[in-house]
Chains A and B, each alone.
Chain A
Amino acid sequence: MVAEDIVQDTFLSALKGLAAFKGEASEKNWLFAILRNKIADHYRGLRTEILPLENEGPEGPDGRFGEDGMWRKNRRPKPWAEPDNPMEHKEMQRMIDWCKEHLKALPKMVFILKYLEEKDSEEICKVLGIKPTNYWVLIHRARLQIRECLEKHWLKK
């Protein structure tokens, strides 16, 4: 829902500012520039939500690790079948796409910007208005979760 609200807001802002659009950039880039600002505005409001991440204990998010920071026995990564033809690659991509939907708003945003849009960390921090320390915690959290989701739903080796 948040995404639709932001897109809607973007189109309306664009219409209001249409006179200012000189056609120097393509319409697509112009709309994306507005969209990026809207996303930044939205997530800046959520910044307080992520502050405690800096004080993450050795157990890590969701208790994957023990007090010593080592993998808990039942959370250790297990091998999965690696895709070896175009169909299986497509299927794995579909699965990752599905898994990312189960991330919380911020790690999901970070995951999309980094891996699907291939932005670098500086740009992502700027767009989302977060500090680099928070970025690394969020990307780590997203990677742990996506990997675990894939292990659960992808073919076992």
Chain B
Amino acid sequence: MRTRLMLNCHEATFLMAKKEEGKLRLIDRLKLTFHTSMCRFCRLFQRQARQISAESRQILSDQMLSPAFKDRMEQLINDNYQG
């Protein structure tokens, strides 16, 4: 990021994702802490974004295939593969 000490909210929220992955340089970590210590909206964003990532990990990939798709797939397999 730039050499300015003050981040704006757009930059701060952008850096939060990097921070969560441990990919933030010390100088940017400091800038981010400085910004969130003063900006309650970004503090709230950070809290809610963390909550979203924590909840997402619990989402089971229950994206089931539709019965129609399964039928089509079975047909294709039968047509393409006589094993």
Please list the residues of chain A having a beta carbon within 8 angstroms of any beta carbon in chain B: 4, 7-8, 11-12, 15-16, 18, 58-60, 64-65, 68-71, 76-80, 82-83, 89, 92-93, 96-97, 111, 115-118, 120-121, 136-137, 139-140, 143-144, 146-147, 150-151
Interface residue range, chain B = 35 or more
- Docked-complex contact B9 and A92, CB < 8 angstroms: no
**Set A4, A11, A71, A150: member contacting B41, Cβ < 8 A:** A71
A interface, over-half SS: helix
- Docked-complex contact A69 and B8, CB < 8 angstroms: yes
Query: Considering the complex, which residues of chain B in the window 35-67 have a beta carbon less than 8 Å from any beta carbon of chain A?
Result: 41-42, 44-45, 48-49, 51-53, 55-59, 61, 65
B interface, over-half SS: helix
A59 to chain B, nearest CB (A): 8
Contacts of B53 in A (CB 8 A): 115
- Docked-complex contact B52 and A150, CB < 8 angstroms: yes
Please list the residues of chain B having a beta carbon within 8 angstroms of any beta carbon in chain A: 8-11, 13-14, 16-18, 21, 23, 41-42, 44-45, 48-49, 51-53, 55-59, 61, 65, 69, 72-73, 76-77, 80-81, 83
| A111 to B11 CA separation, bound complex (whole angstroms) | 19
| A120 to B14 CA separation, bound complex (whole angstroms) | 17
